[in-house]
Amino acid sequence: MTKITISIEVNKNIDKAWEVWNNPEHIVNWCFAWDDWSCPKASNDLNTGWKFSTTMAARDWSMSFDLEWVYTNIIDKKNIDYTIIDMQYWENYIEKWRKVSLIFESIWDKTIITETFDAEDIHSLELQKAWWQSILDRFKNYSESL
Which tens digit of pLDDT belongs to each residue from 10-20? 999 999 999 99
Long-range CB contacts (within 8 A, 24+) of 30-33 = 30/135, 30/138, 30/139, 30/141, 30/142, 30/143, 31/56, 31/135, 31/138, 31/139, 32/56, 32/135, 32/138, 33/130, 33/131, 33/132, 33/134, 33/135, 33/138
Q: Assess whether pLDDT exceeds 90 at residue 66.
A: no
Question: pLDDT tier at 55 (50, 70, 90 boundaries)?
Answer: very high
Residue pLDDT, tens place only, 88-137: 554 455 555 789 999 999 999 999 999 999 998 888 999 999 999 999 99
Q: Would you state the pLDDT for residue 90? A: 44
The parent domain of residue 55 ranges over: 3-145
59-82 mean pLDDT: 94
Number of domain units in the chain = 1
Q: Identify the pLDDT of residue 88.
A: 55
Report pLDDT for 86: 60
Cα separation, 37 vs 105, whole angstroms: 29
CATH of the domain at 50: 3.30.530.20
What would the pLDDT profile of 27-53 be if each residue is shown by its tens digit? Answer: 999 999 999 999 999 999 999 999 999
Please tell me the predicted confidence (pLDDT) of residue 121.
Answer: 81
